[in-house]
A and B are shown apart, each in its own frame.
Chain A
């Protein structure tokens, strides 16, 4: 387990509501922000709140330098080169960028899993108008990825495999190395929605050989409104820009434009500099703790919670029952009880913050006729003591039935 002293880095964890501490188990939605990240953003606004890459004055130079440094830090986190890191608003924007820039033609197939967040479902549904086919690879009954089904679905028409690396619905992680190898052998490119994996485990894009990878800052102790799209440089070069405008071009005439190389070509207009600098600090912060340690810590807590939850009659965990296959996510339903009611009670009784509903994966819940679930999602600052309070409170709630 990671030391509890890390919790002192999070101002919100020192606060109390109605005399009780906050137990934050909604990390799959949004993580808390440590002091270094908040300070890095304040530093930008207080000391060099200038434009990046445009102004020659001292403040402009400093802002440009720090923005570039942030890109380097983020690149280091995922084992990429800085020029392969495009700052976006979030994962959704990263996926939309590929959906709009990747040259998909009528008849081309995009293959996804059956547990995609709306961010990795709607962009492909929208392309139906262009004649692009969206194909789904269904999971096994136990919730794990069905590699055989994937192989069957993978044919010459599949141009892009766009899949959620770790599901925000149940925490399942797909066997990405095998998927990428098979996809590349088939001539397909791979885009990963890594919003739930980059913050929680060691990711090396070069080792994985993934073509594109998108993730968000707010799920990794970073600020909101900033995310990343990683792409192999050669591939990024081939893509047409998504949004065009200021800072994406070398020069223009009244009738033409000469675009800059990636990543600038995709970062049109004034960017969220404070956010990117904060994200860079968050990336550095996570690396200091160690992504391997974070993963271990979450699995250990998940094991404890899963073991205890399994003892409560009428509680069913979604996805694989083995906690090691679910990272830090415990998504469950309680027989005879409304998920929102449980979430409200957890909050009212012990300030336990969880998510309830369909977690933006409406398609899976609708197809499986499950109204929704309660989702507890962990991070490195959560403790076993918090997990015990969560279990005790859940037991009390379930005893109401």
Chain B
């Protein structure tokens, strides 16, 4: 069960980039779903993963034996690590959203560090400080080094802005 859940998460992420993993993700989902509904997982995915992992370690018989005997424990530990990591990531992301909604920056008040939610700001930060030339332009966030205020703008290369008409 545990290995199927790990496989589901891993293959689902890999599946975004490659169709090869989508099939495996689907299989992992089926296996997880069956286990959750107290039905036997008959896809054999867990066996294949265990065999593939053990086979890689066969050069070192002790390591292979350890993997074979403790596969369930190892996958359970990995599962716990994955859950803790996801929970921590979720907490940090939530904090960022809260900060962004409240202070306009996901890193909290008085921070000028990079914020993923602020696309314009991030882009501007990537390109360096921008000075706007049009008179009716303004910066989206006050932290950006712009001289004009009061309207949206799109920063452009060459340290100038294009402003909406």
Contacts and interface: CB of A to CB of B under 8 A. Distances in A.
Interface of A: 338, 340-341, 344-345, 348-349, 396, 399-401
B48 interface: yes
A341 B61 contact: no
A338, A399, A400, A401, most chain B CB atoms within 10 A: A400
9 contacts: A341-B47, A341-B51, A344-B47, A344-B48, A344-B51, A345-B54, A348-B52, A400-B54, A400-B68
Contacts of B68: 400-401
B52 A349 contact: no
Interface of B: 44, 47-48, 50-52, 54-55, 58, 61, 64-65, 68-69
Contact of A348 (B44, B55, B69): B55
A399 B58 contact: no
Contacts of A340: 44, 47
B55 A345 contact: yes
Given A396-B61, A399-B65, A400-B68, A341 B55 contact: no
Nearest to A349: B55
A338 B68 CA distance: 12
B65 A349 contact: no
A345 B49 CA distance: 10
A345 B61 contact: no
Main secondary structure, interface of A, reads helix
B52 A344 contact: yes
Contacts of B50: 341
A341 B48 CA distance: 7
A401 B68 CA distance: 8
Nearest to B67: A400
A338 B69 CA distance: 13
Contacts of A400: 54, 64-65, 68-69
Contacts of B48: 344
A294 B65 CA distance: 39
A204 B69 CA distance: 52
A338 B51 CA distance: 10
A399 B64 CA distance: 10
Nearest to B69: A400
A345 B69 CA distance: 15
A344, A396, A399, most chain B CB atoms within 10 A: A344
A340, A345, A396, A401, most chain B CB atoms within 10 A: A345
A348 B44 CA distance: 15
Nearest to B66: A400
A338 to B, nearest CB: 6
Contacts of B58: 349, 396
Nearest to A337: B68
Contacts of A344: 47-48, 51-52, 55
A314 to B, nearest CB: 14
A232 to B, nearest CB: 43
A394 to B, nearest CB: 13
Given A340-B44, A396-B58, A345 B51 contact: yes
B47 A338 contact: yes
A382 B119 CA distance: 64
A201 to B, nearest CB: 34
A400 B60 CA distance: 11
A344 to B, nearest CB: 3
A349 B44 CA distance: 18
8 tightest Cβ-Cβ pairs between the two chains A and B: A344-B51, A348-B55, A400-B68, A340-B47, A345-B51, A341-B47, A400-B65, A349-B55
A349 B68 CA distance: 15
A344 B44 CA distance: 10
